[in-house]
A and B are shown apart, each in its own frame.
Chain A
Amino acid sequence: MVFQHFSLTHVGYLLQATQWTLLLSAIALVCGAILGAIVALARVSAFAPLRWLARAYIYVIQGTPLLVLLFIAYFGLADLGLNVRPLVAAGAGFTLYASAFLGEIWRGAVESVGRGQWEGSAALGLSWGLSMRYVVVPQALKVAIPPTVGFSVQVVKNTALASIVGFIELTRAGQIVSSATFQPLQVYLTVAAIYFVICSVLSHLSRLADRRINAEAE
């Protein structure tokens, strides 16, 4: 066999794999955010057992390496008779991972809103839900955005781990191309550039959102 030269065909292949990286990141962040919001609400709930449950969930997930979560989702689900596709397994693993971290980030943001705000809205006769919706969350949002974006960038980069469950995303595609061309430097620089573009776009969007929320608050 003859090794190929790193060419535009390979860049095209990398870009194709990038779509999977983006899709997996989107699944992780959207599903993770939904579950994370539930976790955060449970974590600050007035009902103690719910708080304990959320705390235990975060404790277990944060204490488990993402790679192991992926293994459990991929091989563990098969063991239970659910033969899921790599995308589903990786999506499930990443959702658990993101929900625990986002839940904890958002709990911090909610608790950063002073006690007086709660007392004030209670004095106005607002229920717990209404206080949360109209008084606390709008203020917490400002605090939450920077760490949320920071974590999202981490998630995008961590999708590289999904290659371990047979999911060909950007990093795995890079390995495959590099073993067909034996030009690792060129291949991995291209891979790095693609990740850089995705993460820059994400940071830029967050700055826009940040500005908008701050403008609304004023």
Chain B
Amino acid sequence: MKLFSTIAMGAAMLLTAILPAVAQSQGGSDLDSIIKRGTINVGVGLGTPPYGFTNAQMQPDGYDVNVAKLIARDLGVKLKLVDTTAANRIPALTSGKLDIVIYSFSITPERAKVIAFTDTYYVDKQVYVAPSAKKVESVDGLAGKSVGVTRASTNDIVTTKNAPKGAKIQRYDDDATTSQALLSGQVDGIVTSGALANAIERQNPDLKTFFTVAAAPMAIGLRRGDPDLLHWLNTEIFWLKTTGEIQALQKKFMGGEVDLPAY
């Protein structure tokens, strides 16, 4: 499976490099074509609680999924949720498979070269979680430890960047697998989003958050070169903040409200 994942990653990167130029050449704004089509295709991750998961009725639910519902409501179009993997978020956008991606998508300058980000709609932290007996003070203490992260996600990026040389970084395909690696003792600890850490710790009292590796402001991703859609989405985020709906979702899924920074 490791080999497959490596190939997947390579192919995704290759496609990311080739495709952006093509998708933009269609002309006109996606905002108009989405409204005309009557459907918006939104990439979400159903394996990334509490952002995206399936609820007790086996329906998609979570913070990202509900933000997507509000966006579709305010656009007056039908919502089509597409379950995506973290590594496929960018190629699925650039190849035109998706209109937007709402997928605990952290803003990084690297990613912003390939796709566009809206204003922030949540600010998460990337934290180190491990069994309370295996105490680690800071990121430097990870030397000699095995650390689980989710491949191509922000926790992978910040851990790869900040962890000392001796740290052994294990990459898994989605947050569920990463958490399972921790629960089954395959890794000493994991770096994951603060929201998921809260949820896992409530379920497993012997786990503890030790330190924050990095803050992770998150935004909605879309194709570059579409100022109309970008502007509409920013207006929408501003509007949802004004009506308090986005705060209500934060309270429901993340267990607290976060003051959103504005660009």
Contact = CB atoms under 8 A, between A and B. Distances in A.
* Same complex origin of A and B: yes
Interface in B61-100: 62, 82-85, 88, 91-92, 95-97
A3 B151 CA distance: 23
Contacts of A180: 49, 53-55
A159 to B, nearest CB: 14
A65 B7 contact: yes
Interface string A64-94: 0101100100110011000100000000000
B174 A175 contact: yes
B80 to A, nearest CB: 11
11 contacts: A1-B199, A2-B202, A67-B4, A67-B7, A71-B15, A166-B84, A176-B53, A179-B176, A182-B203, A184-B180, A184-B184
A166 to B, nearest CB: 5
Interface of B: 4, 7-8, 11-12, 15, 18-19, 22, 46-50, 53-58, 62, 82-85, 88, 91-92, 95-97, 174-177, 179-180, 183-184, 199-200, 202-203, 253
Nearest to A16: B58
Nearest to A176: B46
Contact of B4 (A1, A13, A79, A161): A161
Nearest to A68: B11
Given A71-B12, A166-B83, A179 B92 contact: no
Interface in A154-174: 161, 163-166, 168, 172
A177 B177 CA distance: 11
B53 A179 contact: yes
Contacts of B58: 9-10, 12-13
Contact of B11 (A12, A71, A175, A184): A71
Size class of the A contact interface (CB-based, 8 Å) = 20 to 34
Nearest to A182: B203
A3 B48 CA distance: 12
Contacts of A65: 4, 7
A189 B216 CA distance: 35
Nearest to A77: B95
Contacts, number: 98
Interface of A: 1-4, 9-10, 12-13, 65, 67-68, 71, 74-75, 78-79, 83, 161, 163-166, 168, 172, 175-180, 182, 184
Nearest to B63: A1
Contacts of A83: 96-97
Contact of A9 (B11, B56, B175): B56
B67 to A, nearest CB: 15
Nearest to A12: B58
Given A12-B58, A165-B88, 12 more contacts: A9-B57, A13-B54, A67-B8, A75-B95, A78-B95, A78-B97, A161-B4, A175-B47, A179-B47, A180-B49, A182-B180, A182-B200
B19 A4 contact: no
Contacts of A177: 54
A67 B180 contact: no
Contacts of A182: 176, 179-180, 183, 200, 203
Given A176-B46, A182-B200, A75 B174 contact: no
A79 B95 contact: yes
Contacts of A75: 15, 19, 91-92, 95, 97
Contacts of B53: 1, 176, 179-180
Nearest to B48: A179
Nearest to B199: A1
Most buried by A among B54, B82, B84: B54
B241 to A, nearest CB: 22
Given A75-B97, A78-B95, A166-B88, A176 B83 contact: yes
Nearest to A178: B176
B8 A71 contact: yes
Contact of A168 (B12, B83, B88, B96): B83
Contact of A179 (B7, B49, B95): B49
B56 A4 contact: yes
A185 to B, nearest CB: 8
A91 B91 CA distance: 20
A78 B96 contact: yes
A10 B62 CA distance: 17
A10 B53 CA distance: 13
Contacts of A9: 56-58
A67 B11 contact: yes
